[in-house]
């Protein structure tokens, strides 16, 4: 082993994420392309009922994050639920959790880059999508290679911009609703006109849940950051407990405004629904500002995806589930090889957008694959938490858990039932069915590679 490799192994991750970083990372992780761009196909499925879709899915993800939070506060490590699945379930489940998470967020990162191309095309329609995605990829990779504090600062200000913009948009939207659209209840007439609140019936509502799931992919980043948080016992519970409030404000509040300002069937996929609606009511300046915000949001989420993927790959290497080279750290505690490898694979989307310039189509195909991966990931968190809690109950150590998930084990079973309903619905949707078919084959592939790894040892 070279002297440089030994030096890299001697370095350790730095707890450089302050409480303000954690709060904004948690905020930013729950607000991204899923809201700004992914909401468009969801609106097509369910109409104004998207408000209920976000409410139900948001409640589910809150409970899942409480389960993850219970484990992460007890043991704040890098690698998060992959580490817990390995320790409290089995070696294979830890392997599956880590590689599935890494893979699905590689796909999610590609979806973000595809969306970024759409946003930039709003201003620069003549610049090829592949060129803009490549430029953004290089910039975000450079930020992640500095140190964890640099990532935290960039994410803090990016989240600050997009959260401030969303709050301003909600307030401005309600101002328009109450001042230019008549008196109550006529000012909210778009919520029930054009076919009613659920114009496509209960089936449209169920189908929307599959797409909405994509919007909440990334909130589990809160658990990933535990290994580099300065005070995880304090910052993690605060960030997770405020998640439900953030969902109510940012997702449900935003959808109430959007669905009230314009008929649901006029929201298309050509650009962000936010930009389209403000253009339609004649506020072009607001459209440009909002396009900038959604661009920052997408860059912010990709920044977090690259961060979390490098840490998950580092955790896999530490557990012996990935080549040891991925555990190499710089003097600043950055997993160098893991970051460069994750960024390098994201070049696939550059090639894809070069071959298929219609980035909107690329986005939708990636969305279906990401949702399938999220189903696996969240199931592992739920089941691992049950094994985690039962271990502490069996050993009489419940008093060691400072941040208990509520309603155990009832809520665990209810969340599993919710996931099964989502999978059943995906099976009935042409755009999602291939990703459901891929799930058992993906798990089998991971099992074979896991066994091969063990044989080689």
Q: Where are the domains of the chain?
A: 19-456
CATH architecture of 19-456: Up-down Bundle (1.20)
φ and ψ at residue 321, rounded to 5 degrees:
-100, 5
Provide the mean pLDDT of the chain: 80
Residues of the chain with pLDDT > 90: what percent? 19
| Cβ neighbours of 165 (radius 10 Å) | 19
Measured in degrees and rounded to the nearest 5, phi and psi for residue 263 equal -60, 140
Residue tagged 């300002």 (tokens): 261
| HSE-CB for 261 with a 13 A CA cutoff | 26
- Calpha distance 28→376 (Å, rounded): 23
Q: pLDDT tens digits, residue range 167-204?
A: 888 888 888 888 887 777 778 888 988 888 999 899 99
pTM (two decimals): 0.83
Residue 287 · residue 278 · CB < 8 Å:
yes
If pLDDT is split at 50, 70 and 90, which confidence band does 425 have? very high
Write out pLDDT tens, residues 117-175: 777 887 888 888 778 888 888 888 888 888 777 777 887 888 788 788 788 888 888 88
Q: Is the pLDDT of residue 454 over 80?
A: no
Give pLDDT tens digits for 253-275.
888 988 888 788 876 555 566 66
Instruction: Tell me the residue ranges of DSSP E strands in 91-191.
Output: none
String of DSSP letters for 212-233:
HHHHTTTTTHHHHGGGGBS-HH
């Amino acid at each position: 082993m070279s002297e440089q490799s030994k030096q890299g192994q001697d370095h350790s991750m730095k707890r450089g994420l302050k409480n303000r970083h954690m709060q904004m990372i948690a905020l930013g992780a729950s607000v991204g392309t899923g809201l700004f761009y992914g909401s468009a196909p969801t609106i097509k499925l369910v109409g104004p009922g998207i408000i209920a879709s976000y409410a139900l899915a948001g409640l589910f993800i809150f409970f899942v994050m409480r389960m993850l939070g219970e484990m992460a506060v007890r043991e704040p490590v890098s690698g998060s639920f992959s580490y817990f699945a390995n320790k409290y379930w089995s070696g294979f489940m830890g392997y599956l959790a880590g590689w599935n998470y890494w893979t699905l967020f590689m796909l999610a990162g590609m979806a973000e880059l595809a969306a970024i191309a759409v946003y930039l095309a709003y201003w620069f329609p003549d610049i090829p999508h592949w060129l803009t995605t490549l430029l953004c990829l290089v910039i975000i990779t450079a930020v992640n290679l500095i140190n964890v504090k640099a990532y935290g600062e960039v994410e803090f200000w990016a989240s600050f911009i997009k959260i401030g913009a969303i709050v301003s948009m909600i307030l401005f939207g309600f101002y328009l609703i109450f001042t230019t659209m008549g008196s109550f209840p006529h000012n909210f007439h778009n919520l029930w006109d054009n076919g009613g609140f659920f114009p496509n019936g209960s089936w449209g509502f169920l189908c929307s849940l599959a797409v909405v799931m994509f919007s909440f992919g990334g909130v589990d980043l809160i658990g990933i950051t535990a290994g580099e948080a300065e005070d995880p016992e304090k910052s993690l519970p605060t960030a997770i407990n405020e998640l439900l409030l953030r969902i109510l404000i940012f997702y449900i509040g935003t959808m109430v405004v959007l669905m009230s300002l314009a008929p649901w069937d006029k929201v298309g996929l050509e650009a962000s629904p936010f930009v389209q609606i403000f253009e339609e009511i004649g506020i072009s300046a607001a459209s440009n500002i909002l396009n900038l915000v959604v661009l920052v949001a997408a860059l912010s989420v990709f920044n977090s995806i690259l961060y979390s993927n490098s840490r998950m790959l580092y955790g896999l290497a530490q557990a012996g589930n990935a080549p040891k080279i991925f555990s190499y750290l710089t003097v600043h505690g950055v997993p160098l090889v893991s970051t460069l490898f994750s960024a390098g694979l994201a070049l696939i989307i550059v090639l894809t957008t070069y071959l298929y310039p219609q980035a909107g189509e690329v986005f939708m195909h990636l969305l279906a694959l990401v949702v399938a991966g999220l189903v696996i990931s969240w199931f592992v968190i739920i089941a691992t938490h049950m094994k985690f809690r039962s271990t502490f109950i069996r050993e009489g150590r419940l008093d060691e858990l400072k941040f208990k998930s509520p309603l155990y084990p009832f809520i665990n079973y209810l969340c599993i039932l919710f996931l099964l309903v989502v999978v059943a619905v995906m099976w009935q949707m042409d755009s999602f069915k291939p990703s459901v078919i891929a799930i058992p084959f993906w798990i089998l592939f991971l099992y074979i590679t896991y066994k091969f790894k063990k044989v080689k040892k």
